[in-house]
Chain A
Amino acid sequence: MSDSFSICGHTFTSRLILGTGKYSSFEMMRQSLEASETQCVTIAVRREKLHDSTGRNILDFVDPQRYVFLPNTAGCYDAATAVRCAKMGREILRGLENQGADWVKLEVLGDSRSLLPDPIELLKATEILVKDGFKVLCYSSDDPIIARRLKDAGASSVMPAGSPIGSGLGVLNPNSLGIILDDLKRGDPEYPVIIDAGVGTASDVAIAMEMGFDAVLLNSAVARARDPARMSKAMKLGVEAGRLAFASGRIEKSRYASASSPELGVISTEVGK
Protein backbone atom coordinates (compact mmCIF):
# COMPACT_ATOMS: atom_id res chain seq x y z
CA MET A 1 0.00 0.00 0.00
CA SER A 2 1.40 3.37 -0.95
CA ASP A 3 0.78 5.87 1.80
CA SER A 4 2.36 9.26 1.96
CA PHE A 5 1.73 12.75 3.20
CA SER A 6 3.05 16.16 2.29
CA ILE A 7 4.28 19.17 4.17
CA CYS A 8 4.98 22.33 2.20
CA GLY A 9 4.98 20.35 -1.07
CA HIS A 10 7.50 17.80 0.19
CA THR A 11 6.17 14.24 0.21
CA PHE A 12 7.19 11.75 2.88
CA THR A 13 6.49 8.02 2.90
CA SER A 14 7.37 7.80 6.61
CA ARG A 15 4.93 9.44 8.98
CA LEU A 16 7.39 9.48 11.86
CA ILE A 17 9.48 12.57 12.55
CA LEU A 18 12.24 11.84 15.03
CA GLY A 19 14.20 14.14 17.30
CA THR A 20 17.98 13.99 17.56
CA GLY A 21 18.33 15.07 21.21
CA LYS A 22 18.99 13.22 24.47
CA TYR A 23 20.64 10.08 23.05
CA SER A 24 23.47 8.61 25.08
CA SER A 25 25.74 8.90 22.04
CA PHE A 26 25.74 10.02 18.43
CA GLU A 27 26.13 6.36 17.47
CA MET A 28 22.94 5.46 19.36
CA MET A 29 21.14 8.34 17.65
CA ARG A 30 22.22 7.11 14.24
CA GLN A 31 21.08 3.53 14.97
CA SER A 32 17.71 4.81 16.16
CA LEU A 33 17.20 6.97 13.08
CA GLU A 34 18.00 3.94 10.91
CA ALA A 35 15.56 1.71 12.79
CA SER A 36 12.76 4.29 12.59
CA GLU A 37 13.11 4.67 8.80
CA THR A 38 12.29 8.33 9.32
CA GLN A 39 12.94 10.83 6.56
CA CYS A 40 12.72 13.98 8.67
CA VAL A 41 14.58 14.84 11.87
CA THR A 42 14.34 17.76 14.24
CA ILE A 43 17.50 19.54 15.26
CA ALA A 44 18.34 22.40 17.62
CA VAL A 45 20.42 25.58 17.25
CA ARG A 46 22.85 26.34 20.05
CA ARG A 47 25.96 28.38 20.74
CA GLU A 48 29.16 26.97 19.31
CA LYS A 49 31.62 25.96 22.01
CA LEU A 50 34.62 28.28 21.92
CA HIS A 51 36.77 25.96 24.04
CA ASP A 52 36.86 22.27 24.98
CA SER A 53 34.97 21.31 21.85
CA THR A 54 35.07 17.52 21.46
CA GLY A 55 35.41 17.90 17.72
CA ARG A 56 32.46 15.58 17.22
CA ASN A 57 29.71 17.19 15.22
CA ILE A 58 26.17 15.89 14.81
CA LEU A 59 26.51 16.43 11.06
CA ASP A 60 29.01 13.57 10.97
CA PHE A 61 26.24 11.25 12.19
CA VAL A 62 23.12 12.49 10.42
CA ASP A 63 23.50 13.17 6.72
CA PRO A 64 21.89 16.45 5.56
CA GLN A 65 21.59 15.00 2.06
CA ARG A 66 19.55 12.04 3.32
CA TYR A 67 17.21 13.62 5.89
CA VAL A 68 15.08 16.73 5.79
CA PHE A 69 16.20 18.75 8.79
CA LEU A 70 13.51 20.49 10.76
CA PRO A 71 15.33 23.09 12.87
CA ASN A 72 13.57 24.03 16.07
CA THR A 73 13.43 27.11 18.27
CA ALA A 74 13.45 25.10 21.48
CA GLY A 75 14.33 27.09 24.57
CA CYS A 76 12.89 30.38 23.24
CA TYR A 77 10.41 32.15 25.48
CA ASP A 78 9.46 35.16 23.35
CA ALA A 79 8.65 35.79 19.71
CA ALA A 80 11.71 37.97 19.02
CA THR A 81 14.20 35.34 20.24
CA ALA A 82 12.37 32.56 18.39
CA VAL A 83 12.51 34.56 15.16
CA ARG A 84 16.27 35.13 15.56
CA CYS A 85 16.76 31.43 16.29
CA ALA A 86 14.73 30.44 13.22
CA LYS A 87 16.80 32.73 11.00
CA MET A 88 20.04 31.25 12.30
CA GLY A 89 18.75 27.73 11.67
CA ARG A 90 17.79 28.70 8.14
CA GLU A 91 21.22 30.18 7.54
CA ILE A 92 22.96 26.99 8.66
CA LEU A 93 20.69 24.72 6.64
CA ARG A 94 21.05 26.82 3.52
CA GLY A 95 24.80 26.36 3.83
CA LEU A 96 24.23 22.61 3.99
CA GLU A 97 21.81 22.76 1.05
CA ASN A 98 19.24 20.95 3.16
CA GLN A 99 15.66 20.79 1.95
CA GLY A 100 14.35 21.90 5.31
CA ALA A 101 16.22 25.22 5.17
CA ASP A 102 13.08 27.33 5.08
CA TRP A 103 11.26 25.16 7.59
CA VAL A 104 11.05 25.76 11.28
CA LYS A 105 9.55 23.81 14.12
CA LEU A 106 8.41 26.86 16.00
CA GLU A 107 8.49 26.54 19.76
CA VAL A 108 7.78 29.59 21.88
CA LEU A 109 7.49 28.39 25.42
CA GLY A 110 5.56 29.98 28.23
CA ASP A 111 6.83 28.08 31.22
CA SER A 112 10.01 26.14 31.95
CA ARG A 113 8.32 23.49 34.07
CA SER A 114 5.53 22.46 31.74
CA LEU A 115 7.30 23.57 28.54
CA LEU A 116 3.85 24.41 27.24
CA PRO A 117 3.65 27.03 24.50
CA ASP A 118 2.89 30.70 25.06
CA PRO A 119 0.06 31.02 22.54
CA ILE A 120 0.29 34.80 22.19
CA GLU A 121 4.03 34.89 21.49
CA LEU A 122 3.66 31.80 19.29
CA LEU A 123 1.07 33.48 17.10
CA LYS A 124 3.17 36.65 16.91
CA ALA A 125 6.28 34.68 15.84
CA THR A 126 4.25 32.69 13.31
CA GLU A 127 3.03 35.87 11.63
CA ILE A 128 6.56 37.32 11.42
CA LEU A 129 8.13 34.12 10.08
CA VAL A 130 5.39 33.42 7.53
CA LYS A 131 5.86 36.96 6.19
CA ASP A 132 9.61 36.26 5.95
CA GLY A 133 9.00 33.19 3.77
CA PHE A 134 9.37 30.47 6.39
CA LYS A 135 7.38 27.26 6.34
CA VAL A 136 6.24 27.29 9.93
CA LEU A 137 5.34 24.09 11.75
CA CYS A 138 3.90 25.23 15.06
CA TYR A 139 4.31 23.33 18.30
CA SER A 140 0.98 24.19 19.90
CA SER A 141 -1.11 23.35 22.91
CA ASP A 142 -4.23 21.22 22.46
CA ASP A 143 -6.47 24.29 22.37
CA PRO A 144 -8.60 24.19 19.19
CA ILE A 145 -8.96 27.97 19.05
CA ILE A 146 -5.24 28.74 19.01
CA ALA A 147 -4.77 25.91 16.49
CA ARG A 148 -7.25 27.62 14.21
CA ARG A 149 -5.56 30.99 14.66
CA LEU A 150 -2.17 29.49 13.79
CA LYS A 151 -3.49 27.93 10.61
CA ASP A 152 -5.17 31.21 9.66
CA ALA A 153 -1.84 32.99 10.23
CA GLY A 154 -0.28 30.77 7.57
CA ALA A 155 1.27 27.93 9.56
CA SER A 156 2.23 25.08 7.22
CA SER A 157 1.30 22.60 9.93
CA VAL A 158 -0.12 22.80 13.43
CA MET A 159 1.46 20.32 15.82
CA PRO A 160 -0.43 20.04 19.10
CA ALA A 161 1.17 18.34 22.06
CA GLY A 162 -0.33 15.03 23.15
CA SER A 163 0.99 15.89 26.63
CA PRO A 164 3.98 17.88 27.95
CA ILE A 165 7.34 17.43 26.21
CA GLY A 166 9.23 14.41 27.49
CA SER A 167 6.43 13.45 29.91
CA GLY A 168 5.61 10.10 28.32
CA LEU A 169 1.96 10.61 29.26
CA GLY A 170 0.67 9.95 25.74
CA VAL A 171 -2.53 11.44 24.33
CA LEU A 172 -4.23 13.12 27.29
CA ASN A 173 -6.98 15.12 25.66
CA PRO A 174 -8.34 13.18 22.71
CA ASN A 175 -11.53 15.23 22.64
CA SER A 176 -9.81 18.57 22.07
CA LEU A 177 -7.32 16.99 19.69
CA GLY A 178 -10.26 15.50 17.75
CA ILE A 179 -11.83 18.95 17.51
CA ILE A 180 -8.52 20.33 16.18
CA LEU A 181 -8.40 17.61 13.52
CA ASP A 182 -12.03 18.21 12.50
CA ASP A 183 -11.58 21.95 12.40
CA LEU A 184 -8.25 22.23 10.57
CA LYS A 185 -9.11 19.56 8.02
CA ARG A 186 -12.65 20.72 7.26
CA GLY A 187 -12.63 21.51 3.53
CA ASP A 188 -8.86 21.01 3.56
CA PRO A 189 -8.29 17.30 4.26
CA GLU A 190 -4.66 17.35 3.16
CA TYR A 191 -3.68 20.01 5.70
CA PRO A 192 -1.03 18.30 7.84
CA VAL A 193 -1.76 18.05 11.55
CA ILE A 194 0.99 16.36 13.52
CA ILE A 195 1.02 15.20 17.11
CA ASP A 196 4.14 16.58 18.74
CA ALA A 197 5.37 15.66 22.20
CA GLY A 198 4.26 13.52 25.08
CA VAL A 199 4.55 10.07 23.52
CA GLY A 200 5.66 7.36 25.95
CA THR A 201 5.40 4.16 23.98
CA ALA A 202 4.22 2.63 20.72
CA SER A 203 0.54 2.41 21.70
CA ASP A 204 0.46 6.20 22.22
CA VAL A 205 1.65 6.65 18.66
CA ALA A 206 -0.91 4.17 17.34
CA ILE A 207 -3.71 5.99 19.21
CA ALA A 208 -2.69 9.32 17.70
CA MET A 209 -2.52 7.89 14.20
CA GLU A 210 -5.88 6.12 14.62
CA MET A 211 -7.39 9.51 15.43
CA GLY A 212 -6.32 10.78 12.03
CA PHE A 213 -3.14 12.71 12.69
CA ASP A 214 -0.93 12.83 9.64
CA ALA A 215 2.29 12.10 11.49
CA VAL A 216 3.90 11.88 14.89
CA LEU A 217 6.93 13.82 16.09
CA LEU A 218 8.75 12.35 19.06
CA ASN A 219 12.16 12.24 20.68
CA SER A 220 12.42 11.35 24.38
CA ALA A 221 10.35 8.16 24.14
CA VAL A 222 13.03 6.71 21.86
CA ALA A 223 16.15 8.46 23.09
CA ARG A 224 15.54 7.66 26.77
CA ALA A 225 14.22 4.13 26.28
CA ARG A 226 16.43 1.35 27.63
CA ASP A 227 16.96 0.14 24.07
CA PRO A 228 16.46 3.21 21.85
CA ALA A 229 16.96 1.49 18.49
CA ARG A 230 14.43 -1.22 19.31
CA MET A 231 11.93 1.34 20.63
CA SER A 232 12.46 3.31 17.46
CA LYS A 233 11.39 0.30 15.42
CA ALA A 234 8.37 -0.10 17.71
CA MET A 235 7.41 3.53 17.02
CA LYS A 236 7.69 2.98 13.28
CA LEU A 237 5.37 -0.04 13.54
CA GLY A 238 3.01 1.86 15.85
CA VAL A 239 2.72 4.65 13.29
CA GLU A 240 2.06 2.19 10.50
CA ALA A 241 -0.48 0.18 12.52
CA GLY A 242 -2.34 3.32 13.60
CA ARG A 243 -2.41 4.74 10.11
CA LEU A 244 -3.67 1.48 8.61
CA ALA A 245 -6.39 1.29 11.26
CA PHE A 246 -7.43 4.89 10.62
CA ALA A 247 -7.63 4.22 6.88
CA SER A 248 -9.59 1.01 7.43
CA GLY A 249 -12.60 2.45 9.28
CA ARG A 250 -12.97 1.01 12.74
CA ILE A 251 -16.19 -0.56 14.04
CA GLU A 252 -18.58 1.36 16.23
CA LYS A 253 -18.26 0.92 19.96
CA SER A 254 -21.19 -0.76 21.69
CA ARG A 255 -22.14 -1.46 25.28
CA TYR A 256 -23.25 -5.01 24.37
CA ALA A 257 -21.74 -7.97 22.60
CA SER A 258 -22.21 -8.89 18.97
CA ALA A 259 -21.43 -12.54 18.23
CA SER A 260 -18.76 -13.24 15.66
CA SER A 261 -19.99 -16.77 14.89
CA PRO A 262 -23.34 -17.49 13.19
CA GLU A 263 -26.27 -17.69 15.59
CA LEU A 264 -28.01 -20.18 13.34
CA GLY A 265 -26.97 -23.80 13.13
CA VAL A 266 -25.68 -24.15 16.64
CA ILE A 267 -25.86 -27.81 17.69
CA SER A 268 -28.73 -28.99 19.89
CA THR A 269 -28.62 -28.88 23.66
CA GLU A 270 -31.31 -31.59 23.90
CA VAL A 271 -30.42 -34.80 25.66
CA GLY A 272 -31.62 -38.11 24.05
CA LYS A 273 -34.06 -40.42 25.94
Chain B
Amino acid sequence: MNDTASQNSISVVVNGENISLAQPLTVLELLAHLNLASRGIAVELNRELIPGDRHHLIVVQDKDVVEIVTLVGGG
Protein backbone atom coordinates (compact mmCIF):
# COMPACT_ATOMS: atom_id res chain seq x y z
CA MET B 1 0.00 0.00 0.00
CA ASN B 2 2.81 2.33 0.89
CA ASP B 3 4.40 1.61 -2.44
CA THR B 4 1.22 2.54 -4.26
CA ALA B 5 0.86 5.74 -2.27
CA SER B 6 4.43 6.83 -2.91
CA GLN B 7 4.11 5.96 -6.58
CA ASN B 8 1.04 8.11 -6.88
CA SER B 9 2.14 10.95 -4.67
CA ILE B 10 3.02 14.12 -6.49
CA SER B 11 4.58 17.47 -5.75
CA VAL B 12 3.07 20.65 -7.13
CA VAL B 13 3.76 24.35 -6.66
CA VAL B 14 0.71 26.32 -5.55
CA ASN B 15 1.10 30.08 -5.27
CA GLY B 16 4.84 29.65 -5.02
CA GLU B 17 4.67 27.01 -2.31
CA ASN B 18 5.64 23.33 -2.70
CA ILE B 19 2.76 21.05 -1.81
CA SER B 20 2.75 17.24 -1.71
CA LEU B 21 -0.39 15.41 -2.68
CA ALA B 22 -1.00 11.71 -2.08
CA GLN B 23 -2.31 11.40 -5.62
CA PRO B 24 -3.10 13.56 -8.62
CA LEU B 25 -6.25 15.64 -8.06
CA THR B 26 -8.56 17.56 -10.31
CA VAL B 27 -8.48 21.33 -9.89
CA LEU B 28 -11.82 21.09 -8.08
CA GLU B 29 -10.43 18.48 -5.71
CA LEU B 30 -7.29 20.54 -5.13
CA LEU B 31 -9.40 23.57 -4.13
CA ALA B 32 -11.33 21.41 -1.67
CA HIS B 33 -8.07 19.98 -0.36
CA LEU B 34 -6.84 23.54 0.31
CA ASN B 35 -10.17 24.52 1.89
CA LEU B 36 -10.77 27.18 -0.75
CA ALA B 37 -14.23 28.12 -1.97
CA SER B 38 -14.56 28.22 -5.73
CA ARG B 39 -16.55 31.51 -5.68
CA GLY B 40 -14.46 34.57 -6.37
CA ILE B 41 -11.32 32.76 -7.47
CA ALA B 42 -9.53 31.92 -10.71
CA VAL B 43 -7.03 29.15 -11.33
CA GLU B 44 -4.08 28.99 -13.68
CA LEU B 45 -2.27 25.76 -14.43
CA ASN B 46 1.20 26.20 -15.91
CA ARG B 47 0.29 29.78 -16.89
CA GLU B 48 -2.88 28.66 -18.66
CA LEU B 49 -6.23 29.81 -17.26
CA ILE B 50 -8.56 26.93 -16.37
CA PRO B 51 -12.18 28.12 -16.64
CA GLY B 52 -14.42 27.22 -13.71
CA ASP B 53 -16.53 24.82 -15.75
CA ARG B 54 -13.43 22.70 -16.41
CA HIS B 55 -12.16 22.50 -12.83
CA HIS B 56 -13.67 19.03 -12.43
CA LEU B 57 -12.06 17.78 -15.64
CA ILE B 58 -8.46 18.99 -15.46
CA VAL B 59 -6.08 16.93 -13.37
CA VAL B 60 -3.09 18.53 -11.67
CA GLN B 61 0.03 16.47 -12.39
CA ASP B 62 3.42 16.11 -10.75
CA LYS B 63 5.59 19.27 -11.04
CA ASP B 64 2.67 21.40 -12.20
CA VAL B 65 2.66 25.06 -11.26
CA VAL B 66 -0.69 26.37 -10.04
CA GLU B 67 -1.76 29.94 -9.36
CA ILE B 68 -4.98 30.50 -7.40
CA VAL B 69 -6.07 34.15 -7.27
CA THR B 70 -8.88 36.14 -5.79
CA LEU B 71 -10.06 39.76 -5.65
CA VAL B 72 -8.51 42.20 -3.21
CA GLY B 73 -8.74 45.94 -2.75
CA GLY B 74 -6.84 47.91 -5.38
CA GLY B 75 -6.77 51.14 -7.31
Interface residues of A (CB under 8 A from B): 19-23, 26, 29, 42-48, 50, 57-59, 69, 71-72, 74, 84, 87-89, 91-92, 94-96, 165-166, 197, 217-220
Contact = CB atoms under 8 A, between A and B. Distances in A.
A88 B44 contact: yes
B40 A95 contact: yes
A47 B70 CA distance: 6
Given A42-B74, A59-B71, A219-B75, A91 B52 contact: yes
B68 A20 contact: no
Nearest to A196: B75
Interface of B: 14-17, 34, 36, 38-42, 44, 47, 49, 51-52, 67-75
B39 A43 contact: no
A71 B42 CA distance: 13
B75 A46 contact: no
Given A45-B42, A48-B15, A92-B40, A21 B75 contact: yes
B33 to A, nearest CB: 11
A197 to B, nearest CB: 8
B75 A74 contact: yes
A45 B71 contact: yes
18 contacts: A19-B74, A20-B73, A20-B75, A42-B75, A43-B74, A44-B71, A44-B75, A45-B74, A47-B16, A47-B67, A48-B70, A59-B71, A69-B71, A72-B74, A88-B69, A91-B49, A95-B40, A217-B75
A267 B36 CA distance: 83
Given A91-B51, A95-B52, A72 B69 contact: no
Given A91-B52, A92-B70, A95-B42, 11 more contacts: A21-B72, A21-B73, A21-B75, A26-B73, A45-B42, A46-B69, A48-B36, A50-B17, A58-B72, A72-B75, A88-B42
